[in-house]
Structure 1
């Protein structure tokens, strides 16, 4: 009887041991899956909330860092989407392929090789330096460079203040002047020809 009892106890211990092993394996698999989800999760920077209607505006921006050779256009396009602040940043170079803002990787929107690198980035701070990273391929081997951007809240104004918008207005005015001048010249020439055309003499 004692031997039989000992055998049953040993079998119970074996079952408990197997259950424990499977439990540890299951916990390990769950941890791996959770880690994979965390690593694959897309990091997104949180833009500031602004008290403005959704749309496009202009904002002044300054930049420090790097070698000082690269610059960004200022004023630049300031976007408000769902009450959140974004900026469409245009570089003076076409060699930047991505930027990183608060861990979020943002790709160059301009696919034209001869065009300037352009990025729509979240604005995470006004009137203070906002740290960003930009990757450049200008030296052959891609490498990341740290910059600091400062967006000035009191400079926000209508989109018409942008240099490209001003250039568009100049082109429109120039086109109107050219077309108007051409039309006026046509009528002046027509009037001149009519006034100086010799009249045919009629015989008596």
Structure 2
């Protein structure tokens, strides 16, 4: 094996081990404590997806371990396979952060996991953190900086809800409708979001939509 190839493989292995030590402590299949503490796991779809991702991540870790222990594997194959597995691990990492950040209790943990990673999504997490602290202007500015050049919404309940609330509070009612609608779509059982959306429809004189929200709220109230 060439000296440079050995150096590349050692670098890949070190990066893998460092990432594994940091990440598996949070998300391994055997560590359920974190997820048992999160109230948003009442959402069956999110719960199912998280469990699937945790198992997939654990499987990828075992596959890497087996690969590293193999003595008859060609070096080039090791490099390529490790690269593929580590890339998938990072994808799982990001998806779990995306899911976990639907609960305010998880924001600090998610920010820590995204530390030193170039993800513009982190701006929204800063926005959630400032909103939770009561700094609504700072929170609004974070969200605005993220969405101002975006042509689509995030498939994220909490971000849409909070930014929708902020847009309402800062009297940007047309934009508030869009984000509150998405929040309702992601978590239709949240009656408070429906009430806020009903208020916005009333302000915008959207009577048909307002009456629809009234009916939904009545149903949710039982």
TM-score by length of structure 1 reads 0.24
Q: Which has the larger radius of gyration?
A: 1
- Higher helix proportion: 2
Q: TM-score, normalised by structure 2?
A: 0.22
